[in-house]
Amino acid sequence: MFSSQLTAASAAFQAMEAENRALRARIAELEADPLPPATGGASTETIPTEADYRLRPADIRLDVCVGRTLKGNEDKRWSPAIYRETQCGGKIEEDGLCTRCLKKAAKGAAAAAADAAVTPTYYGWSGRVTEEPFRWQHMLGTAWAVHAAQTGKLKWLGSDSASAIKAAEKEAAKAAAKAAKAAEKEAAKEAAAAAKAAKAAAKAAIKAEANRELMLIGGRIYMIKGRELYEYDTTLDAAGTFVGFLDSATTA
Ligand SMILES: [Zn+2]
């Protein structure tokens, strides 16, 4: 029972591998004969290639998580959208991956092992930037992209396609909202600092008032602030000319 299941699984895997190999072989042909030209897009625009969506090996950092991130990296100049990879960059927990990526990888692998029709991508696992993308990923050069281009399902629309314009507008609105929020935060911070300074000044004024004291020395009234002795201005009820320090004045 177990061995027959194993044989079936192995055969399915081999068939999948063969299909993958055949599709990968088509990549070379497609590179010599590029993807279909722009349909409705700006004719002057250069159509990106597989390399434009991959990190250059020199740019990959091995001291942080090498999990591949695709979320939010859609290039909607293609239909369907093509993804550009970025590196997770989280703190490595084990085996070059962060805690989150380890979890996603395990969940994705378990699901794919249980059902061949399921791809780990469904579980948010997009592989490692140090490895080739999965065959089903919506990135240029994968078996999926080659097949989709062959069958006309993958189309280059260019920057002036409705979905690309909408995506660019959304991106601009997002950036504007972020800038506004940052400015608001900065203004609130400044207001809080000003309020704090005003409070400190008021406190200092009260303290100064509390610290002053009048003293009769040699028949004259002086105002004392700490150790400083001033003439006392009776009309203004304030310190007048500085006379000297208390020790020397009293001993004089
Ligand atoms: Zn990660």
Give tens-digit pLDDT for 104-152.
999 888 877 777 766 656 667 899 999 999 888 999 999 899 999 889 8
Interval between CA 89 and ligand 1 midpoint (Å): 6
Interval between CA 77 and ligand 1 midpoint (Å): 27
Domain borders along the chain are 2-160, 179-251
More confident residue, 16 or 174: 174
Interval between CA 124 and ligand 1 midpoint (Å): 11
Interval between CA 43 and ligand 1 midpoint (Å): 38
pTM of the model: 0.52
Residue 38 pLDDT more than 50?
Answer: no
223 falls in which pLDDT band (50, 70, 90)?
Answer: confident
86, 73 contact by CB (below 8 A): yes
The least confident of 67-76, 160-169, 214-223 is: 160-169
Interval between CA 133 and ligand 1 midpoint (Å): 16
What is the percentage of the chain residues whose pLDDT exceeds 90?
37
Interval between CA 53 and ligand 1 midpoint (Å): 19
Interval between CA 66 and ligand 1 midpoint (Å): 6
Within 35-120, where are the H helices?
A: 99-114
Residue 20 pLDDT more than 80?
Answer: no
| CA–CA dist 231, 214 (Å, integer) | 10
Around 123, how many Cα atoms within 13 Å sit in the side-chain half-sphere? Answer: 19
| CA–CA dist 99, 112 (Å, integer) | 20
pLDDT in tens, 45-86: 788 999 999 999 999 999 999 999 998 899 988 999 999 999
Interval between CA 69 and ligand 1 midpoint (Å): 8
